[in-house]
């Protein structure tokens, strides 16, 4: 028997195609796709028998050819400030998603890859090396899982009466570089925006990238959500060290891509992320250089306190220095915020928990992966399937 199709892997066009393959009439494949998306992503059903508005014969066909395969959870922890973190088993390794509840929103930070090949020197995910791309179903599965779990806490099973789910915002700031896995990330983003699935507005979904320029243009073309760019350094010399992809796409090109993106973006600014590393990029001269960079793009700056991990070789900038840095930028007219650290007692920061259970020697093995193949069938150099 052919392998069962995991329906979580399919966005609306792919579901329609799947129904066509099952022999559904052309006139009704689109409606079937919409119905199925609603059951899977608004009610989070786990069984075809629950899909009561779909004919029994069609449900039987689904049961014979498809499955609903959720992520399996290794650990589920809640911090004293309410931040909740799930660690998911993705076979050879684990990835995490973090839910950050606030008064007016609930933000889920999700992962796009197990590990990351881009090797930013201050990042624990980067230190683990690249393991593999998450599939569409594994990316959207984090959102499905979180909504289902959070609703269960509220005593809600199935769709909420008003259709609003606990996760109101998604940020792709967990493990991995989303734009290095755009073939899976883009359909997952489409499902986040699809009114038949999560129905989030484009401004409530943010992709964070270390600066993959051609893929930023592709995101603008296919699914232009809010964009955050991990700047971390105001000069090419320093950025080459901290964010090595800069050697391929230097600041000038990156800033030009940001300006191009703004024509399509749901907001009129780009968010620049800047991790504060003690003595490395947090000095007055860095602030001055950063002001010049930030002024080239309509932008807001988000200063991130460094989250230390063993053998990182970096230290946290003292609070006073972060505040002084912020003051300089604000005085120059750049809107600058400092990221609140949340969930400290459960290590709810970028890739941290998964990092603890993973094989730290993998970085060495990953060095052999050529992330910039000279040729290949993929659309961009550097794609990994």
C-alpha neighbours within 13 Å on the C-beta side of residue 178: 31
Work out what residue 194 binds among ligand SAH, ligand SF4, none; the CB cut-off runs from 5 to 8 Å by kind.
none
Q: What 3-state class would DSSP assign to 312?
A: coil
Residue 225 makes CB contacts below 8 A (sequence gap 6+) with 189, 193, 202, 203, 205, 206, 207, 219, 266
Shortest distance in whole angstroms from residue 287 CB to ligand SAH: 18
Of 114, 189, 304, 346, the one binding ligand SAH by CB under 6 A: 304
* Residue 270 C-alpha from the chain's centroid: 16
Of 12, 35, 131, 208, the one binding ligand SAH by CB under 6 A: 208
Of 9, 190, 273, 383, the one binding ligand SAH by CB under 6 A: 273
Shortest distance in whole angstroms from residue 117 CB to ligand SAH: 10
Shortest distance in whole angstroms from residue 244 CB to ligand SAH: 11
CA of 254: how far to CAs of 40, 102, 105, 270, 275, in Å?
A: 38, 32, 31, 12, 18
Size of the site for ligand SAH (CB under 6 A): 16
Work out what residue 97 binds among ligand SF4, ligand SAH, none; the CB cut-off runs from 5 to 8 Å by kind.
none
Q: Is 142 in the site for ligand SAH (CB under 6 A)?
A: no
Shortest distance in whole angstroms from residue 296 CB to ligand SF4: 22
| Cα gap 140→258, rounded to integer Å | 26
Q: Is 350 in the site for ligand SAH (CB under 6 A)?
A: yes
Q: Is 306 in the site for ligand SAH (CB under 6 A)?
A: yes
Q: Is 242 in the site for ligand SAH (CB under 6 A)?
A: no
Of 142, 169, 209, 317, the one binding ligand SAH by CB under 6 A: 209
Work out what residue 304 binds among ligand SF4, ligand SAH, none; the CB cut-off runs from 5 to 8 Å by kind.
ligand SAH
* CA nearest neighbour of 232 among 163, 314, 151: 314
- The smaller minimum CB distance to ligand SAH, of residues 119 and 190, is found at 119
Residue 290: φ, ψ to 5° = -65, -35
Shortest distance in whole angstroms from residue 309 CB to ligand SF4: 12
- The smaller minimum CB distance to ligand SAH, of residues 142 and 209, is found at 209
CA of 8: how far to CAs of 41, 43, 184, 252, in Å?
A: 9, 13, 12, 39
Residue 319: φ, ψ to 5° = -50, -45
Residue 211: φ, ψ to 5° = 115, 50
Q: 226-249 burial by CB neighbour count: b if 16+ within 10 A, else e?
A: bbbbbbbbbbeebbbbbbbbbebb
Q: Is 107 in the site for ligand SAH (CB under 6 A)?
A: no
Work out what residue 306 binds among ligand SF4, ligand SAH, none; the CB cut-off runs from 5 to 8 Å by kind.
ligand SAH
Interface contacts to ligand SF4, rule CB under 6 A: 116, 118-120, 123, 125-126, 176-177, 210, 230
CB 101 within 8 A of CB 353: no
Strand 205-209 with 169-172, pairing:
parallel
Site residues, ligand SAH (CB under 6 A): 120, 122-124, 173, 177, 208-210, 230, 273, 275, 304, 306-307, 350
């Amino acid at each position: 028997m052919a392998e069962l199709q995991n329906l979580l892997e399919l966005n609306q066009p792919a579901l329609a195609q799947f129904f066509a393959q099952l022999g559904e009439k052309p006139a009704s494949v689109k409606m079937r796709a919409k119905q199925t998306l609603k059951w899977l992503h608004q009610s989070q059903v786990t069984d075809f028998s629950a899909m009561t508005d779909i004919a029994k014969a069609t449900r039987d066909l689904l049961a014979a050819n498809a499955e609903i395969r959720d992520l399996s959870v290794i650990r589920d922890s809640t911090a004293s400030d309410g931040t909740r973190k799930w660690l998911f088993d993705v076979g050879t390794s684990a990835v995490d998603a973090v839910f950050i509840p606030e008064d007016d929103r609930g933000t889920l930070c999700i992962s796009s890859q197990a590990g990351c090949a881009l090797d930013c020197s201050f990042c624990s995910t980067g230190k683990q090396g690249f393991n593999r791309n998450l599939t569409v179903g594994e990316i959207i599965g984090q959102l499905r899982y979180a909504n289902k779990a959070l609703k269960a806490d509220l005593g809600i099973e199935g769709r909420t009466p008003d259709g609003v789910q606990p996760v109101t915002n998604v940020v792709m700031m967990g493990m991995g570089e989303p734009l290095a896995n755009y073939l899976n990330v883009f359909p997952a983003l489409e499902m986040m925006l699809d009114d038949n699935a999560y129905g989030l507005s484009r401004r409530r979904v943010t992709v964070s990238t270390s600066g993959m320029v051609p893929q930023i243009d592709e995101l603008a073309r296919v699914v232009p959500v809010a964009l955050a760019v991990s700047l971390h350094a105001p000069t090419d010399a320093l950025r080459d060290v901290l964010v090595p992809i800069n050697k391929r796409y230097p600041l000038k090109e990156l800033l030009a891509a940001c300006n191009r993106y703004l024509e399509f973006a749901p907001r009129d600014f780009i968010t620049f992320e800047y991790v504060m590393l003690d003595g490395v990029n947090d000095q007055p001269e860095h602030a001055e250089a950063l002001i010049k960079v930030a002024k080239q793009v309509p932008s807001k700056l988000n200063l991130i306190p460094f989250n230390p991990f063993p053998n990182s070789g970096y230290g946290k900038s003292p609070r006073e220095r972060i505040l002084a840095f912020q003051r300089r930028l604000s005085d120059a007219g750049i809107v600058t915020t400092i990221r609140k650290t949340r969930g400290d007692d459960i290590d709810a920061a970028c890739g941290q928990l998964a990092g603890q259970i993973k094989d730290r020697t993998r970085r060495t093995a990953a060095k052999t992966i050529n992330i910039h193949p000279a040729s290949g069938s993929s659309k961009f150099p550097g794609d990994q399937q």
